[in-house]
Amino acid sequence: MPTPSPHRDEAQSLAVKRAQVEFHNFASLGEPERARRVYAEENARRGTVIRKHREFIGEITPFLEIGSNAGHSSYMLANEFGGDGFALDISADSLRYGVSLMESWELARAPIRVAGDALNLPFRDGSLRTVFAFQMLSQFMDIEAVFLEVKRVLAPGGVFIFAEEPLRRGLSLRLYRCPYRETMKPWERKLHDWGLLGYLVRDVIGAHQEESFGIRQNHRMELRHWDELIRKHFVEYESEIFVPQRGWGENIVGKLSKSQWTLAHRLGGTLSAMCRKAGTSPGDDSSWETRLRCPDCGAPVRLAEEETLRCTACEYASPNEGGVYNLLRSVDKKELYPGDRADVIDFTLPGHEARLGTGWYSLEGVYGNKYRWIGGQATAQLQPAHPGPKRLRIRGHASEQLFEQNATPKVTATVNGTRVGEWALDRTGLFILEADVPELDDYQVTIDVSPAWKFPPDERQLTVTLSMIRLTPRD
């Protein structure tokens, strides 16, 4: 049986994992054209780092990328660098989107796609030559727990490559979390361009979006903390520090800083590192499925004729679903992928309309990211799947037109006639609304939104789009 990390729950709670599944689905499927552009830009940056340190990294096959989202960087590793390996993410839906990437980018090779948990990697000890992690370690409160899992699955002499991890900024009042530039308010955008906004916000630009989903962000790591952690677990490493300097507000500090370390301490930035595990490995030409292990008991798995991975010791099985094997622990899979269940209305799933009431327009959306417009009011019905205190969670999107009606957009949620939450929306884009609700046998949910608007020649009264309503444990 696999030995769990003693701090697994503290490193990342089930609520955060649930939020990650939703967020990665949205990030890859919600705006596919924008996503492909962002993925291409990320691959260009990451490919440059890998090429610069290729001599240190050496052979990358077999590789694993953890937190891979749609797997776009794994496709780069397979096609540009000739590697064979795995793309792992907690979101099976975002991994399935890789088919669209292959088609639009005209790619010939693909990684093996696996839904899994970075704190319980479904790989046997010492089975991988390289492990990659891009922009994902800061989503764990205990980053060392991820380091321990990575070190376990790396072969002796293997290399752990992580990149674009935030460095804590010293010169900041840390007043609030800030969104990406495109959703900034005009005054925020101006301060950002002048190089002054960083002196006010709590962490890297963009953390607000992940936080709105419920993903906790760990921005406590200074450069010295990263150095201490790497030296504790790896015998040598190479690194790169990137400190963005925007406008005169940050250029002044750059001129006054005598070293890159000092500049990174003052202004923050990101760190990329290539870390080598002790020892040497004779190499391993095993087939891909023999590198895996059962996430429940740790025994080997075998690929059955029906394209299903089956544990050799327990009853765990994972079929190939749209090109993805879901190798999360059974208890996590049950909660993170509930399917058609009475406490979830997921508009990507067929049959969800059975729990919708009045006020909903036709299903829209692309690549599995389905949503429905509502007018001023919409109703739905939920029932609890488990006992215990609950939270109502509503996922939606606010368009620019909503903010052009000379009134502050407001959303109100009522359960069984009792108001449980009221929110004022202050930005366009994605929103997540949550409110504690009492324990009930049945939840009649009413969502009211104002102001309404029209988009001629469409005569419908519109407010926001919604893509999911669910009950979650109050954890």
DSSP 78-118: HHTS---EEEEES-HHHHHTHHHHHHHHT-S--PEEEE-BT
Handedness of CA 92, 93, 94, 97 (dihedral sign): positive
pLDDT at 331 over 70: yes
Beta strands 128-134 and 154-167 are parallel
- Show the DSSP H helices in 342-403 as ranges: none
d(CA 453, CA 472): 31
Least confident of 285-289, 290-294, 446-450: 285-289
Domains in the chain, ordered, with CATH?
Answer: 8-276 (3.40.50.150), 344-473 (2.60.120.200)
DSSP assignment of 54-74, as one string? HHHH----SEEEES-TTTHHH
pLDDT score for 30: 62
Edge to edge, the sheet with strand 443-450 lists: 377-382, 443-450, 410-415, 418-424
d(CA 302, CA 313): 11
d(CA 329, CA 316): 9
Could you report the per-residue pLDDT of 174-192, keeping only the tens digit for each? Answer: 999 888 888 888 999 999 9
Tokens 């291409």: give the residue.
Answer: 40
Q: What is the DSSP letter of 457?
A: T
Tokens 């990294």: give the residue.
Answer: 57
What is the mean predicted confidence (pLDDT) over 23-28?
Answer: 73
Least confident of 100-114, 118-132, 210-224, 410-424: 210-224
Q: Where residue 199 falls among pLDDT bands split at 50, 70, 90? A: very high
pLDDT score for 7: 45
Distances (CA, A) of 466 to 35, 106, 119, 336: 20, 33, 31, 19
- Rounded to 5°, angle at Cα 32 from 28 and 33: 135
pLDDT score for 4: 43
Could you report the per-residue pLDDT of 219-268, keeping only the tens digit for each? Answer: 899 999 999 999 999 999 999 999 989 999 999 999 999 999 999 999 99
Q: Where residue 29 falls among pLDDT bands split at 50, 70, 90? A: low
Could you report the per-residue pLDDT of 338-358, keeping only the tens digit for each? Answer: 878 899 998 888 889 999 999
pLDDT score for 367: 62
Could you report the per-residue pLDDT of 65-86, keeping only the tens digit for each? Answer: 999 999 999 999 999 999 999 9
Which tops the pLDDT comparison, 27 or 142? 142
Which tops the pLDDT comparison, 277 or 338? 277
pLDDT score for 217: 84
d(CA 108, CA 325): 20
Residues of the chain above pLDDT 70, percent: 96
Least confident of 2-6, 35-39, 295-299, 448-452: 2-6
pLDDT at 461 over 60: yes
d(CA 207, CA 219): 10
pLDDT at 46 over 90: yes
Q: Where residue 306 falls among pLDDT bands split at 50, 70, 90? A: confident
Q: Where residue 11 falls among pLDDT bands split at 50, 70, 90? A: confident
pLDDT score for 211: 79
d(CA 342, CA 158): 46
What is the mean predicted confidence (pLDDT) over 418-423?
Answer: 97
Q: Where residue 31 falls among pLDDT bands split at 50, 70, 90? A: low
Helices 260-267 and 223-233 cross at an angle (nearest 10°) of 120
Which tops the pLDDT comparison, 387 or 282? 387
Q: Where residue 5 falls among pLDDT bands split at 50, 70, 90? A: very low
Distances (CA, A) of 146 to 11, 30, 118, 199: 9, 28, 6, 30
Beta strands 324-326 and 344-346 are unpaired
